[in-house]
Amino acid sequence: MTPIPATRLPSSETVPVLGQGTWYMGEQARHAAGEAAALRIGLDLGMTLIDSAEMYGNGGAEEVVADAIAGRRDEVFLVSKVLPENASRKGTVAACERSLKRLGADRIDLYLLHWRGSPPLADTLAAFDALIRDGKIRHWGVSNFDTDDMEELFALPGGDQCACNQVLYNLTRRGIEFDLMPFCRERGIPVMAYSPIEQGRMLNHAALKAVGARHDATPAQVALAWLLRQDGVIAIPKAASEKHIRENRAAIDLLLDADDLAALDKAFPPPKRKRSLEML
Ligand SMILES: NC(=O)c1ccc[n+]([C@@H]2O[C@H](COP(=O)([O-])OP(=O)(O)OC[C@H]3O[C@@H](n4cnc5c(N)ncnc54)[C@H](OP(=O)(O)O)[C@@H]3O)[C@@H](O)[C@H]2O)c1
């Protein structure tokens, strides 16, 4: 099995470019054990970056993650997120402590502001700093930040310590390539692509099927391989079935050639001008 390549955070720490999402996990108790088992299969296959959030399943997803990583915390690069309504100076710290409890962990590796809300960014940053000082988080970052948000962040003291921007990015959502991606790349900040297969909605597209047919690969593998070929991009597909997990893992072995990329560009044209960041 080809190892999963890694990318660097600004701190120089490396993380795998293919991880696992957890949105919609932990919503129904009867599915929780199966969801944790699915995440464990992903861990066994090297997909050791797990993305969660206090929002998912109203904390239930973090509990599923706790089950999945029990006894193997050190293998995992754990990502979670604070909701904007909690992102005040005190609220962020309290939300993180609640998340740690649900995760059964003493630290979160990367803690993200889920999207911008009303609390001033400087207050959220102050809380992130305090959490780092106390060893409760190791890195902080943002999610759903467009270029103007990133510029505002970087103008704040310590704003340049941002380790990641997690945004909606897949073949059907290429707007970030115009300006946000270059902004992040210039500063060595990885882009974490969420909904990398558009929650399944893109998988019937003829171009994905045609490229897949050339390589004996599925449309999901083509969509993931397209993301994973790019420097500084981390993809976090969510999969609760073993078949999907194994298929996604195998996307690492799919190398798209120039003809494939041209066909995909034709079907999903890159942006020619600024588009506002989309979010789900
Ligand atoms: N920061 C944010 O605002 C934000 C927003 C959205 C998502 N996220 C994060 O990003 C993660 C991924 O995004 P997402 O969950 O929205 O969507 P996604 O990963 O694009 O798609 C997940 C859906 O696709 C299915 N699937 C997975 N692998 C497949 C395959 N190989 N073939 C066919 N279907 C497959 C899954 O089914 P099964 O589960 O049945 O396997 C699930 O229904 C989330 O779980 C979350 O951690 C963050």
Predicted pLDDT of residue 259:
98
What string of DSSP letters covers 179-207? Answer: THHHHHHHTTPPEEEESTTGGGTTTT-HH
Helices assigned H by DSSP within 136-235: 147-154, 180-186, 206-215, 219-228
| 223 found inside a domain | no
Q: Is the pTM of this model over 0.85?
A: yes
Q: Is the pLDDT of residue 162 over 90?
A: yes
What integer best gives the mean pLDDT of the chain? 98
Active site residues: 56
Q: Is 99 a pocket residue for ligand 1 (Cβ < 6 Å)?
A: no
Q: Is 197 a pocket residue for ligand 1 (Cβ < 6 Å)?
A: yes
Q: Is 239 a pocket residue for ligand 1 (Cβ < 6 Å)?
A: yes
Which position has the token pair 């979670």? 80
| 224 found inside a domain | no
SS3 57: helix
Q: Is the pLDDT of residue 153 over 90?
A: yes
CA distance 182 to 64: 35
Integer-rounded Cα Rg, in Å, for the chain is 18
| 44 found inside a domain | yes
Supply 193's token pair: 């692509």
CA distance 221 to 218: 5
Amino acid symbol at 175: G
Supply 89's token pair: 């100076």
Question: Would you say 82 and 131 are in contact if contact means Cβ atoms under 8 Å apart?
Answer: no
SS3 7: strand
Query: Percent of the chain at pLDDT above 90?
Result: 100
Q: Is 192 exposed, middle or buried (0-12, 13-18, 19+ CB in 10 A)?
A: buried
Model confidence over 75-102: pLDDT tens digits? 999 999 999 999 999 999 999 999 999 9
Amino acid symbol at 53: A
**151 pLDDT tier (thresholds 50, 70, 90):** very high
For ligand 1, the distance from its centroid to the CA atom of residue 55, given in whole angstroms, is 15
Predicted pLDDT of residue 197:
98
CA distance 59 to 132: 22
Q: Is the pLDDT of residue 30 over 90?
A: yes
Predicted pLDDT of residue 101:
98
The two beta strands, 14-16 and 49-51, are unpaired
DSSP for residue 82 = E
When divided into structural domains, the chain yields a total of 1
Predicted pLDDT of residue 238:
98
Question: Would you say 62 and 103 are in contact if contact means Cβ atoms under 8 Å apart?
Answer: yes
Q: Is the pLDDT of residue 164 over 90?
A: yes
Model confidence over 90-135: pLDDT tens digits? 999 999 999 999 999 999 999 999 999 999 999 999 999 999 999 9
Question: Would you say 248 and 221 are in contact if contact means Cβ atoms under 8 Å apart?
Answer: yes
Nearest CA to ligand 1 atom 26: 239
Q: What is the CATH number of the domain that holds 122?
A: 3.20.20.100
| 124 found inside a domain | yes
Which atom of ligand 1 sits closest to the CA of residue 143? 1
Q: Please give the helix or strand (H or E) that residue 140 lies within, else none.
A: strand 137-143
Question: Would you say 42 and 245 are in contact if contact means Cβ atoms under 8 Å apart?
Answer: yes
Predicted pLDDT of residue 1:
85
Q: Is 240 a pocket residue for ligand 1 (Cβ < 6 Å)?
A: yes
| 247 found inside a domain | no
Q: Is 144 a pocket residue for ligand 1 (Cβ < 6 Å)?
A: yes
Model confidence over 201-257: pLDDT tens digits? 999 999 999 999 999 999 999 999 999 999 999 999 999 999 999 999 999 999 999
| 266 found inside a domain | no
Helices assigned H by DSSP within the chain: 29-44, 60-69, 89-103, 121-133, 147-154, 180-186, 206-215, 219-228, 242-250, 258-267
Predicted pLDDT of residue 138:
98
Q: Give phi and psi for 234, each to the nearest 5.
A: -115, 130
CB atoms within 10 A of CB 197: 28
| 253 found inside a domain | no
For ligand 1, the distance from its centroid to the CA atom of residue 75, given in whole angstroms, is 22
Helices 206-215 and 219-228, packing angle to 10 deg: 90
| 250 found inside a domain | no
Nearest CA to ligand 1 atom 14: 195
- Domain containing residue 59: 14-201+232-241
CA distance 217 to 221: 6
Nearest CA to ligand 1 atom 19: 237
